[in-house]
Amino acid sequence: MSFQKEINRRRTFGIVSHPDAGKTTLTEKLLLFGGAIRVAGAVKSNKIKKTATSDFMEIERQRGISVATSVMGFEYNGYKVNILDTPGHQDFQEDTFRTLTAVDSVIIVIDAAKGVEPQTEKLMNVCRMRKTPVIVFINKMDRPAQDSFSLLDEIEDQLKIRVRPLSWPINSGPDFKGVYSIYNSSLKLFDPSIQDIEKGIDFEDINNPELEKYIGDDAQTLRDELELVEGVYHEFNRGDYLKGNLAPVFFGSALYNFGVQELLHAFLEIAPAPQSSFAEEREVKPEEDKFSGFVFKIHANIDPNHRSRIAFVKICSGMFVRNNMYKHIRSGKTIRISSPTAFMASQKELVEEAFPGDIIGVPDNGSFVIGDTITEGEDINFKGLPSFSPELFRYVENADPMKSKQLNKGIDHLTDEGVAQLFTNQFNGRKIMGTVGQLQFEVIQFRLEHEYAAKCRFEPLQMYKACWIESDNAKMLIEFKKRKYQKMAKDKLGRDVFMADSQFILQMAQNEFKDIKFHFTSEF
């Protein structure tokens, strides 16, 4: 198969949602269609009966939530599909934001009863900022749901994007009878006792009296609602979707594997193949001859038996070939990648070659950080992978002096992953952990104990904001660091960080030191 055809058949997308909207369940069912797994994990009421394939970390199995992005690839109908299942919980939103830099499109899952929730709005803001094409899947139609038209109005209003239904539900909850696919004019009837792949009934002419045989009196309601859909919403335009201006909408029930096949088939047809990436120096197109890629995620202990650490690399251009020599731009060193892997959550297999849009795992002994660029020789730096200023801060103390080495190693690995940020106070040398949510502290403690046999305790620290600082005025910078010595820290890369106690103190510092730039993300 030609290089261009390999690019065109790839679909790399992220699945995002508010917690408990059914994102991980949808991922599982898509994997079932791809033959990647035989049995999907049941993720119900936070009690995991069969563990979800994409939730492979011990804490995820215990909590019934996703706390890290999973990468899964499979072949389906001639396409190579790469799914990135992201955490829904807001405490892990930074992992999700970074993952969105590695995908070409996104499926947003919305709970039919709850509608648009706060976390969904935040995720949509990131998609809008990056002009990422979005498809909406309204899930849990087998339960009592809001009126479908009201849901669409809410999506348009709160997510600030035009919608176009490509499927339509027949009732919801106990009266749910199925979904009519507007995209390919077929009816699929709902039977909760059947969860296998079912073939729909073709209904090109919705006015065919045969429809009454299948859904009775609801046939006329369906006709009326479809007429309203055609009258209210513009025809589907793929160009508008690819520009991020229009969101196709599908209805279904991921738990019962219903409406998922329609979503997958339409997605494969309309979603974009790998798109251009942007380095600081220039635009990088996937069809370029030379290989380039960037690290968007690092995961320690993906296989606890081997204490392995993996850097997830998104391929942006050219063909990656195992054992070739590539340049690690930040260090300037030439590296040979001899054991690259493709993912099925925690399961890995060796890959000989990979193409733009693919995600590969590169064994990492600590030489990679998030945002690193790897190329065939050209000095370029991909952008858009910042660490955000944390919102919660704690001092980190060793709870077991006999395990200092293990604790330091664990903290080093976990902060490399981007689960949290580590600062060292210049005044007293104490380590400060910063996160965007309380749950991350619990995850860190759990993983330190279970993956590194180390224990830590967190001590309270009242802090408003960590700000990276820089200035062209060297004299003023020295003066600032001298005056604020007790509140100065270094991040892992040795950069200066001002730890502001309150918003008032930060504003005072900004007003007094006009030549100093205060940054709230690490990328500046």
CATH number for the domain that contains residue 322: 3.40.50.300
Pair (47, 131) in one structural domain: yes
Assigned domain for 136 exists? yes
Tens-digit pLDDT string for the chain (524 aa): 789 999 999 999 998 888 788 888 888 888 887 665 544 333 333 333 334 444 444 544 454 444 345 678 888 889 999 988 765 444 445 666 777 888 999 999 999 999 998 878 878 887 887 889 999 999 999 999 999 999 999 999 999 999 999 999 999 999 998 899 999 888 888 877 665 545 567 777 888 888 888 888 898 999 999 999 999 998 899 999 999 999 999 999 998 888 888 899 999 999 999 999 989 899 999 999 999 999 988 877 655 555 567 888 999 999 999 999 999 999 999 999 998 888 654 456 788 999 999 999 888 887 888 889 999 999 999 876 666 678 889 999 998 888 899 999 889 888 877 778 899 999 889 999 988 777 788 888 888 888 889 999 999 898 998 999 999 999 999 999 999 999 999 998 899 999 999 999 999 999 999 999 998 876 65
Q: Last residue of some domain: 270, 297, 318?
A: 270
Pair (329, 399) in one structural domain: no
Q: Check which CATH number belongs to the domain holding 430 and give it.
A: 3.30.70.3280
Pair (245, 355) in one structural domain: no
Indicate the DSSP class of residue 183.
T
Contact yes or no for 63/74 (Cβ under 8 A): no
Assigned domain for 408 exists? yes
Assigned domain for 442 exists? yes
Picking from 469, 466, 524, the residue whose alpha carbon sits closest to that of residue 496 is 469
Assigned domain for 183 exists? no
Pair (20, 159) in one structural domain: yes
Pair (371, 242) in one structural domain: no
Assigned domain for 410 exists? yes
3-state DSSP percent of the chain in helix, strand and coil, to 5: 30, 30, 40
Pair (295, 346) in one structural domain: yes
Token look-up 């995850």 returns 443
Assigned domain for 222 exists? no
Instruction: Report pTM.
Output: 0.76
Pair (511, 471) in one structural domain: yes
- Rounded Cα distance between 485 and 480, Å, is 8
- Rounded Cα distance between 518 and 125, Å, is 23
Pair (38, 122) in one structural domain: yes
Assigned domain for 201 exists? no
Pair (158, 34) in one structural domain: yes
Pair (336, 429) in one structural domain: no
Domain count, the chain: 3
Q: In what order do the strands lie in the sheet with 465-470?
A: 456-460, 392-398, 431-435, 421-425, 488-490, 496-500, 465-470, 517-519
Pair (357, 446) in one structural domain: no
Query: Where in the sequence is the domain holding 428, given as residue range(s)?
Result: 392-519
Q: Last residue of some domain: 375, 402, 434?
A: 375
What do you get for the CA distance between the two ends of the chain, in Å?
Answer: 41
Assigned domain for 227 exists? no
Pair (307, 404) in one structural domain: no
Q: Last residue of some domain: 315, 350, 375?
A: 375
Indicate the DSSP class of residue 199.
P
